[in-house]
């Protein structure tokens, strides 16, 4: 984060005391080095929470050069160290989105709500169970052809959420944390591997 950006952000933070202050930033291989500085800035400015968003290879993000720049690859150990050092009681509260999978110290992960409590409608009316499942394979239908209530009750809407976690590939299947992490996000896993049943590709548990 540049010094100019820090200065502008600082002025905004001090002038908006009536608002809840949340900083959000993509966290990828090429931005990992300055992550501690970004977190120090958040603490100095006494923001309420910080959210780090992970890289997911969808759309143009599937290009090899993009994956090389943003995918963690061999930097997984560095990412693990940063996450472990950042997940504290705060302030600020530090949050990592589902792309990072289960986090220390408890290695828990929410149960999948795709098509159970959530859905996503695209700009052209295609309905998906979740924003993590934006692939043609997971389109339940289109609002121009079927009513939303019918789409919501389509069995395809909950097919990913109901995927048997005991059938996941190793090492997820044998991992002692499986009962609490549920194999992490299947949509993120599919985006990286093309396989809903694959092991979560960037598990920080090691």
pLDDT in tens, 156-201: 999 999 999 888 999 999 999 999 999 999 999 999 999 999 999 8
pLDDT band at 16 (very low <50, low <70, confident <90, very high): low
Radius of gyration (C-alpha) of the chain in whole angstroms: 19
Residues 6+ apart with CB under 8 A from 103: 83, 87, 96, 109, 204
| Nearest CA among 204, 198, 164 for reference residue 182 | 164
- Alpha carbon 59 to its chain centroid, in Å, reads 16
Are the C-beta atoms of 98 and 52 separated by less than 8 Å? no
The residue among 145, 203, 144 whose CA lies nearest residue 174 is 203
Predicted TM-score (pTM) of the model is 0.80
Backbone angles phi, psi at 167, to 5 degrees: -95, 0
DSSP designation for 174: T
């Amino acid at each position: 984060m540049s010094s100019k950006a820090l200065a502008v952000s600082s002025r905004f933070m001090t002038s908006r005391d009536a608002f809840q202050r949340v900083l959000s930033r993509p966290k990828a291989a090429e931005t990992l080095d300055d992550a501690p500085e970004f977190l120090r800035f958040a603490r100095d400015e006494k923001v309420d929470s910080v959210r780090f968003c992970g890289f997911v290879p969808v759309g143009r993000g599937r290009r090899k050069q993009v994956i090389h720049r943003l995918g963690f690859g061999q930097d997984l150990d560095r990412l693990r160290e940063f996450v472990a050092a950042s997940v504290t009681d705060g302030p600020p509260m530090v949050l990592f989105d589902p792309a990072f999978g289960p986090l220390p110290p408890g290695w828990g992960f929410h149960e999948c709500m795709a098509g159970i409590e959530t859905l996503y409608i695209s700009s052209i009316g295609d309905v998906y169970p979740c924003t993590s499942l934006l692939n043609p394979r997971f389109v339940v239908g289109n609002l121009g052809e079927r009513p939303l209530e019918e789409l919501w009750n389509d069995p395809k809407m909950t097919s990913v959420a109901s995927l048997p976690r005991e059938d996941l590939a190793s090492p997820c299947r044998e991992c002692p944390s499986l009962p609490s992490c549920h194999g992490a996000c299947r949509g993120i896993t599919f985006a990286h591997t093309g396989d809903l049943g694959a092991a979560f590709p960037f598990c920080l548990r090691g």
